[in-house]
A and B are shown apart, each in its own frame.
Chain A
Amino acid sequence: GAVVSQHPSWVICKSGTSVKIECRSLDFQATTMFWYRQFPKQSLMLMATSNEGSKATYEQGVEKDKFLINHASLTLSTLTVTSAHPEDSSFYICSARRLAGLRGYNEQFFGPGTRLTVL
C-alpha cells in the first residue's frame, strides 16, 4: 500500500505553546487529507478535511482558530495546535486519499500518528 508519514511521532510540550504536525504522502499525490483525533479507548474522530490549495473544512465542534490546517502541496498537510492545553493531549492521525486506481475506489491511507502530551 501507499505510504503516509507523520512528524513528529510524539511530542511533549508546555501548556500555551503551539505544536505543528506534518503529514506527507510519500509515493502518491493526495488532493485530500484528513485529520483525526483519538482519545484512549475511543474511536477516531474526524477533525477536518484538508484540500490542497483551499481552506480546510472543519467538523462541528472543532475550533478552526485553534487547530490550523494548511495543505500547501499535493503531498503535505500540516496541523498546528495553537496554545495547547492539557485537554488537547491526544493521538492525532492524518490520512491521505489516493484517487481510485485499479481497485476502483478511493482508498485512505493512514499515517502512523502523533502522540501529543501537553503538560
Chain B
Amino acid sequence: QKEVEQNSGPLSVPEGAIASLNCTYSDRGSQSFFWYRQYSGKSPELIMFIYSNGDKEDGRFTAQLNKASQYVSLLIRDSQPSDSATYLCAVLPQGGGNKLTFGTGTQLKVEL
C-alpha cells in the first residue's frame, strides 16, 4: 500500500465549477498535510496546509481533513482554466522528522 494515494486523473471540470481532489494516507499518526500545485515543467508551490480535523478555507481553496478516515481533500471553488495543473498531496508522517511524503498527484483540467 502506498503511503499517500491520489487518483492520477485527469479530473475534468467546467469553468466555474467546484473541483474536488482527494488524498488518503496510511500513517495514522501523521501530523500535517499539505497541498501543492505543480504546473507542467515547473516545481511545486504550496497552496494550503492543514493539521486539525475539519475545514480550512483560504480564498477559493478549502482543505478538509478527517484523521479518523485518514483522508484529506482540497476543494477549489469557481474553478478557472489557470487552475489546470497537477495537485500533489503531501504528508508529514509521525516520526518522519522534516520529510514530506508525496502522493503521485492528480491532474486537474478546467475546461472552458
Interface residues of A (CB under 8 A from B): 1, 32, 34, 42-44, 46, 49, 91, 93, 97, 105-113, 115
Contacts and interface: CB of A to CB of B under 8 A. Distances in A.
Given A49-B98, A105-B32, A106-B98, A1 B49 contact: no
B88 A107 contact: no
B99 interface: yes
Q: What secondary structure prevails in chain B residues at the interface with A?
A: loop
Given A43-B105, A105-B49, A105-B51, A110 B43 contact: yes
Interface string B18-60: 0000000000000010001000011111100101000000000
B80 interface: no
B99 A46 contact: yes
Closest 8 pairs between A and B when the two form their complex, measured CB to CB: A43-B104, A110-B43, A113-B43, A44-B102, A93-B43, A43-B102, A110-B44, A112-B43
> DSSP majority for the A interface?
strand
B7 to A, nearest CB: 13
B42 A49 contact: no
B17 interface: no
B43 A108 contact: no
A114 B49 CA distance: 26
A44 B45 CA distance: 13
